[in-house]
Chain A
Amino acid sequence: MTKAHDIGLRMVRNAGGEPGFEVIVGGGLGRTPMIGTTVRDFLPVADLLPYVEAVLSVYNTLGRRDNKYKARIKITVHETGKAEISRMIEDRFAELRPLFGGGDQAVLADIRTAFAPPAFRDAPVAAHDAFYRADPVFRSWADTNLAAHRNAQYAIVTISLKAHGQTPGDATSDQMRIIADLAERYGHSDLRISHEQNVILPHVHKSDLPVLHAALVKAGLGTANVGLLSDIIACPGMDYCALATARSIPVAQELATHFEALKLEHDIGPLKIKISGCINACGHHHVGHIGILGLDRAGVENYQITLGGDGTETAVIGEKTGPGFAYDEIVPAIERILRAYLALRTDPGETFLQAYRRVGLGPFKTALYGEIGQKDAA
């Protein structure tokens, strides 16, 4: 998501192996979605504060003040142009850099001590490996919800808050207490909330995974769907939000239950569906592989689809397919898109996004609107 923010800082290493940041400015979603512009390929860590101050200082000088919808860094970068804004930022940075005498680095060193890695345990994992081979329910969860840890005896666990048919991202107070207890017992007391609206236990020893998984299943938290179709980001939508123009949560719930009933989501594979209930784009639909934007068309909910969005380092704003769909048409429309994908992918290893990049919007438009409808839509 670093390319869709006012200022994005992507951690990179330079040719010499030193850590630093790629600095991206002027990204953003909302009513004017834009992918940010890289103004520095490599910024040494020690230059971070003066550089960010230079960006904000230039924006403060140039930023639009006549229209609040245009008072954003993305508008300033777009109107000023990459070459000129980069030059201004570098000039301002050259003025500001000498004012930083190292105090920031001392503070950073202090902060770093608070983020020391936990005391990793050294214990056998053979029992875990045997359990993984023997228990298909555990294996299915482990294959979707775990990520590799730098310590081979450990795993990074994502607890899915996307049980099929539930409100995406919601946990009850009882579930939150259970998650906190599990993090204390098995996760070195570390627990994080992801922007994907799930909970992450960043350090779990593999020998603890079977018992952790059993506890999660018992609490209704064992859903094995991380990164799949039903792992949907949805904004609160009209059910809870005064700005919304359409509902988001029921659309997410129906998509999840619909494809669960069809038993298709594991076959479809990695897929990010993101749903926003208004143009402000809190659900980040522009960078969903499939984005759904709920609008109000003369008092009736209407859902516009975008395809091919990507919020990672290969960021792209999704393309609009054409006319939107009514509330009761949106789930069948998504099914037509995904049936088209299953039919045209080269092999099961080609993800939806890869297939979309290969074939473009055309086949999906045909699947959505038919041959004649495509002409109307164009």
Chain B
Amino acid sequence: MSILVTDTGFLPAPPADAVPLAGIAAHRGVLDLAPTDDPAALRPYLADLTLIRVAFPVFSDGRAFTIARRLRMMGYGGALHAVGPLIADQYAMARRLGFDAVEIPDDLAARQPESQWLFRADWQAHEYQARLRA
């Protein structure tokens, strides 16, 4: 994982000093979540975490989307990254569900260059679900 995709384009992904959910008691602010992890287990730690990275094993595994939404519903206000081979078309959906950025592997960044991700940086436009929830 070496490219961090944001609304303004590509950045080199910073190294993360992360622990998995099993080691959360000793976290230093950054947590890695697997798609099988239950966000409810984080409740006591949410206020102290500064970054949660949720893994997408493949782009078609949508469990991390539900995890992101639940973390935001639980009140988590820190940074939230989707980590894995998401495709550019999913960027807007990841943002709408509460992710701040997407960390993608280098080979994917080469195949789907920055312009394709910036194309969906207007993720707030036509966000029909937000209109229904107003």
Query: Which residues of chain A have C-beta atoms less than 8 A from B65's C-beta?
Result: 60
Min CB gap B134→A, angstroms:
3
Min CB gap B10→A, angstroms:
29
Q: How far is the CA of A267 from the CA of B98 in the complex (A)?
A: 62
A103 contacts B66, CB within 8 Å?
no
Asked if B48 is at the interface of the complex by the 8 Å CB criterion, the answer is no
Check A102/B134 contact, CB under 8 A, given A57-B69, A95-B73: yes
Asked if B133 is at the interface of the complex by the 8 Å CB criterion, the answer is yes
Query: Which residues of chain A have C-beta atoms less than 8 A from B134's C-beta?
Result: 101-103, 106
B66 contacts A107, CB within 8 Å?
no
Min CB gap A162→B, angstroms:
39
Asked if B27 is at the interface of the complex by the 8 Å CB criterion, the answer is no
In terms of DSSP, what is the predominant structure of the interface of chain B?
helix
- Number of residues on chain B facing chain A (CB within 8 A): 12
B73 contacts A103, CB within 8 Å?
no
Q: How far is the CA of A96 from the CA of B132 in the complex (A)?
A: 13
Check A101/B131 contact, CB under 8 A, given A60-B65, A61-B63, A95-B73: no
Q: Contact partner of A104 among B62, B63, B133, CB < 8 A?
A: B133
Asked if A49 is at the interface of the complex by the 8 Å CB criterion, the answer is yes
Q: How far is the CA of A107 from the CA of B63 in the complex (A)?
A: 29
Query: Which residues of chain B have C-beta atoms less than 8 A from A107's C-beta?
Result: 131-132
B132 contacts A60, CB within 8 Å?
no
Asked if B107 is at the interface of the complex by the 8 Å CB criterion, the answer is no
Check A104/B132 contact, CB under 8 A, given A57-B69, A61-B66, A95-B73: yes
Asked if A150 is at the interface of the complex by the 8 Å CB criterion, the answer is no
Min CB gap B21→A, angstroms:
15
Asked if B89 is at the interface of the complex by the 8 Å CB criterion, the answer is no
B132 contacts A103, CB within 8 Å?
yes
Asked if B17 is at the interface of the complex by the 8 Å CB criterion, the answer is no
Q: How far is the CA of A96 from the CA of B74 in the complex (A)?
A: 11
Q: How far is the CA of A101 from the CA of B62 in the complex (A)?
A: 26
Of residues 68 through 103 on chain B, the ones whose CB sits less than 8 Å from some CB of chain A are: 69-70, 73
Of residues 85 through 116 on chain A, the ones whose CB sits less than 8 Å from some CB of chain B are: 95-96, 99-104, 106-107
Asked if B61 is at the interface of the complex by the 8 Å CB criterion, the answer is yes
Min CB gap B126→A, angstroms:
14
Asked if A65 is at the interface of the complex by the 8 Å CB criterion, the answer is yes
Query: Which residues of chain B have C-beta atoms less than 8 A from A101's C-beta?
Result: 133-134
Of residues 147 through 195 on chain A, the ones whose CB sits less than 8 Å from some CB of chain B are: none
Closest to B66 in A: A60
B66 contacts A57, CB within 8 Å?
yes
Query: Which residues of chain A have C-beta atoms less than 8 A from B63's C-beta?
Result: 60-61, 65
Closest to A100 in B: B133
Query: Which residues of chain B have C-beta atoms less than 8 A from A49's C-beta?
Result: 132
Mark interface residues in A18-51 (1 if CB within 8 Å of B CB, else 0). Answer: 0000000000000000000000000000000100
Q: How far is the CA of A54 from the CA of B66 in the complex (A)?
A: 10
Closest to A104 in B: B132
Of residues 27 through 85 on chain B, the ones whose CB sits less than 8 Å from some CB of chain A are: 61-63, 65-66, 69-70, 73
Min CB gap A108→B, angstroms:
9
Of residues 51 through 68 on chain A, the ones whose CB sits less than 8 Å from some CB of chain B are: 57, 60-61, 65
Check A65/B133 contact, CB under 8 A, given A57-B66, A60-B66, A99-B73: no
Closest to B38 in A: A61
B66 contacts A99, CB within 8 Å?
no
Min CB gap B87→A, angstroms:
17
Closest to B73 in A: A95
Query: Which residues of chain B have C-beta atoms less than 8 A from A65's C-beta?
Result: 61, 63
Q: How far is the CA of A106 from the CA of B65 in the complex (A)?
A: 27
Q: How far is the CA of A96 from the CA of B70 in the complex (A)?
A: 9
List 18 A-B pairs, Cβ < 8 Å. Answer: A57-B69, A60-B65, A60-B66, A61-B63, A61-B66, A65-B63, A95-B70, A95-B73, A96-B73, A99-B73, A100-B132, A101-B134, A102-B134, A103-B133, A104-B132, A106-B134, A107-B131, A107-B132
Q: A49-B132, A101-B134 are known; give 14 further A-B pairs, CB within 8 A.
A: A57-B66, A57-B69, A60-B63, A61-B66, A65-B61, A95-B73, A99-B73, A102-B134, A103-B132, A103-B133, A103-B134, A104-B132, A104-B133, A107-B131
Query: Residues of A with Cβ closer than 8 Å to B?
Result: 49, 57, 60-61, 65, 95-96, 99-104, 106-107
Query: Residues of B with Cβ closer than 8 Å to A?
Result: 61-63, 65-66, 69-70, 73, 131-134
Closest 5 interchain pairs by CB? A103-B134, A104-B132, A60-B66, A57-B66, A103-B132
